[in-house]
Structure 1
Amino acid sequence: MSTIFEKLLSGEFPCAKVYEDDLVFAFMDAGQVNDGHVIVASKKPYETILDIDEETTQRLFLVAKRIAHVVQDVFKAEGITLLQANKDAGWQSVPHIHVHVLPRYKNDGVELVWPRKEPGIERLLELAKLIKVPSI
């Protein structure tokens, strides 16, 4: 079963592309949060950040950064939000890796809220010991 992004890329569904190369493509989100809301997606149908190869990861975020600069300039954004969600519990709505580039403005009505937990430094130190990140 192909995702909506695969259908956009193949031309089965129309889309307003703003960028395309051998690994990623970017297009205007049909559900614009603010004018200039762009989605950057991999061409290969990787589902999440946990599945994607390193070269595509680098390209995805480099293109998102470049688009963020252009969107900020063109739409005079007061800020930019990048959103990359994974799996249902992580708010992923399409099972195909993508990054939202959202131009933001003070009082634009866009909210991203979650309950803050403040466990204290001792617990944070315990949690940090569990995370062993290999060097790049």
Structure 2
Amino acid sequence: HKVYEDDEVFAFLDIHPVNLGHTLVIPKEHHKDLLSTPTELAQKLIIAVQKITPAILGAVGSEGFNLGVNNGESAGQVVFHTHVHIMPRFSQDRHALWNGKEMSQDELKEVADKIKSNL
């Protein structure tokens, strides 16, 4: 069920929603994932997400939302076309998206330094 469309972006309800109103926002032009999507098109995708999300929240009476972008099989990507999940959240829905890990300040500094050196 389509909820939004413009010249470059299309949005529709997920067929296996985590909650009522779970919507996928995709570029019409094919790119396998977010990292292969041209920057200008990725910006238009996020602008569409900003436009669509308040309408979704109002329609379902949601108290918040999560955005999801799965890139690569190890991240759970099964459809290899760039897409953003808008998942409305409710205080009683009990969906856990991830469990955080305890890390020392030394471990955090080490990975931060590696990321900065890769930029």
* Structure 1 runs not aligned, ≥5 long: 1-15
**Corresponding residue for 2:45?**
60
Matched, 1:75 2:60: yes
Q: How many residues end up aligned between the 2 structures? A: 118
Mapped to 2, the partners of 1:49 and 1:39 lie a distance apart of 14
User: Which structure has more helix as a fraction of its residues?
Assistant: 2
Q: CA deviation at 1:27?
A: 0.7
Q: Give the Cα–Cα distance (whole angstroms) in 1 for the partners of residues 4 and 79 of structure 2.
A: 20
Residue 51 of structure 1, aligned match among 36, 39, 42? 36
The alignment status of 1:125 with 2:115, answered yes or no, reads no
Corresponding position of 2:25: 40
What amino acid maps onto 1:54 in structure 2?
T
How far does the alpha carbon of each residue in 1:9-62 deviate from its partner, in whole angstroms, 9 at most, with x for none?
A: xxxxxxx21111222110111222222111001111111111000111111111
The structure, 1 or 2, with the larger RCO (C-alpha pairs under 8 Å, 6+ apart) is 2
SS of the equivalent of 2:32 reads coil
Q: Gaps spanning 5+ residues in structure 2: where?
A: none
Whichever residue aligns with residue 44 of structure 1, its letter is E
Kindly state the Cα deviation for residue 117 of structure 1 after the two structures are TM-superposed: 2.6
Moved >6 Å (runs of 4+): none
Which residue does 2:89 correspond to in 1?
104
Distance, in Å, in 2 between the alignment partners of 1:109 and 1:93 is 24
Identity of aligned residues (%): 36
In angstroms, what is the RMSD of aligned CA positions? 1.6
- Return the TM-score normalized by structure 2: 0.88
- The letter of the residue matching 2:40 is E
